[in-house]
Amino acid sequence: MYNLSDLQNQFSKQKINKAKKFSIREFEEIEKNRFVCFIDEETVSYDVGLVLNPESEITGYSCECGSKDFCLHVLAIGLFMAENKTGKTNSPKGTKKKISEAELAMEDLNSEELKTWLLEFFKKNKDAEMQFMLSFGQKKKDFSEAEISELIKNTVASVAGKRKSLTAPEVKKLVDLLTKAIEPVEQYLLQNPDKKESIKKYLWLSDEISNYKIKILFSGVRMDNFQKKLKERFVAHMNTIKDIDLWKELAAENWYTFLRCNDSVSFAFYNFIKELYYSGSPEQKMYIAGLVRGEIKIWEKTGFELRTSAKENLLEIIAENGFFTELQSYFQIEKYQNSYNLKVIGELLKTDRKQAEKVCKMIIDSNSNERYDPPYYAILEKIYLEEGSPADLAHIKRKRFWETLSLEDYIFIAENEADAEEFKKFRSRMLGLLKNSFFSYPQTSDLYFGILDYEKDYKKMLDVMDSNTPTSVINLYAEKLYLTNKNKFLMAVRSRNEWNSTEDDEEVLADFLASKYDAGQLEDSFAKKYYGFGSHRFSKKVLKKAGLS
């Protein structure tokens, strides 16, 4: 017979610990010395009862788990009663935190057993080993370049091993590990009073990450975003340096490294100095722009030409700070460099529209492929809309017509194009292409028929109307087509062997036919059996409107 006061000594420590992990609910004394409660073990609850004599000895017990022995659930209520003499539970209603089997198993492990198991586990799970080291390893307060390299190397290897590509879930795991791994490094870089050393080691860190991006194929853009955010955080910190003279010294030293360097610089360094400018205050931007301006004035004298991609970036800096007009001669148009050229023209538009117009025409003439012309035509159209002649604007709208496919533009071209022969060729080619595209692009029929309507060529409309002509378009011009040749219009409608149109559009056309033709004509045209898609349906609709069915 067990006594409540002695239960702790009657069972093993393992059983005692397990029993204490259970959640106890709705404990009550239903009658003198007879107690009941619910005990929750993970997702299962058991109804447990216990009977005591006046000496607190357990004289009876029951448990819904079905065990006839003194089970852990009975032990749990006994321990609870021994520790809570009042019989009241202080725990909130509902289940407590679930205790996993792994946690219960750990209660019986000693430190040596756990160490041995973990060491074996880490041999096959390098990412888990890295997680363990990041959580429990010795925390460093400073980092050498070699230590940064080793940290990145080990973190990448823990996920990638010797593989040359990673899946999206693996990349996520790696980014999560890298974020945690470099956190102390990043803190060191931000808190280090020697800002020159911080920049040097940040660039080393960024280059190390970039090296692995070259060696390993990373799915998605998660790694790029990780590196980008690291750069933004570090540069934002550098741009908040309160010592203005120190900031200027650092900005000048790093920008001059690029501007005066005879060799190429790393992407990490180039992106760093660009971010130093773009995330800076207006005063900081102006200071860096002044550095760039000074170097360009030297380059103009010496004839030094920067590569176009870098020149394009410098152009943005120069333009934003009002130095373009002064340095315009350095930013000459370069053949086949459309992104750069468009930025130059954009600046010319602000000060010299005639020059911008001249440059656009020159580039169009020199382009070997017409697909590069549209942005320059768009600029010319903007210029001519504001200060050009109607003929100039019509010429550009003709060149851009396949971008806009606008009836309004066509009418403008027709009424203002100075070269009649060129317009004739344009019209013929354009109508042919539009007509042949009805099947693939039904919306082009709107433009085609709109042009014929503008030209009052309803005979041509009747000639080209077929199954590919949308019913909605026929409805727009039905009255005019009927007045042009009512018999031909009826035959054109009846000869359509497909009706891929909406119910509403068919209703409108059927009403029109019933209002214009007598029942005999409609019966002759629509009473025969036709087997085209939707033809029978439309025929029945017309005959019904005419009172013939």
Residue 6 confidence (pLDDT) = 82
**pLDDT confidence bin for 441, thresholds 50/70/90:** confident
Write the pLDDT tens digit of every residue in 9-56. Answer: 888 888 888 888 888 888 888 888 888 888 888 777 888 888 888 888
pLDDT at 411 over 70: yes
Token pair 């002759």 is found at 524
The Cα angle at residue 524 between residues 523 and 530, in degrees rounded to 5 = 90
pLDDT at 102 over 70: no
**266-302 in b/e burial notation, b at 16+ Cβ within 10 A?**
eebbebbbbbbbeebeeebbbbbbebbbebbeeeeee
Check if the beta carbon of residue 502 is closer than 8 Å to that of residue 515. Answer: no
- In this predicted model, which residue has the larger pLDDT, 76 or 116? 76
Residue 92 confidence (pLDDT) = 39
Q: What's the mean per-residue pLDDT of the chain?
A: 86
Residue 138 confidence (pLDDT) = 47
Residue 467 confidence (pLDDT) = 82
**pLDDT confidence bin for 63, thresholds 50/70/90:** confident
Token pair 């009073």 is found at 193
Least confident segment among 171-175, 279-283, 318-322:
171-175
Residue 94 confidence (pLDDT) = 42
- In this predicted model, which residue has the larger pLDDT, 9 or 204? 204
Token pair 């205050």 is found at 281
pLDDT at 117 over 80: no
Residue 529 confidence (pLDDT) = 59
Tokens of 539: 């025929």
DSSP string computed for 107-131: TT--HHHHHHHHHHHHHH-HHHHHH
Mean of pLDDT values over 54-82: 86
Residue 27 confidence (pLDDT) = 86
Residue 119 confidence (pLDDT) = 62
> What is the enclosing helix (H) or strand (E) of 211?
helix 195-215
pLDDT at 246 over 50: yes
**pLDDT confidence bin for 149, thresholds 50/70/90:** very high
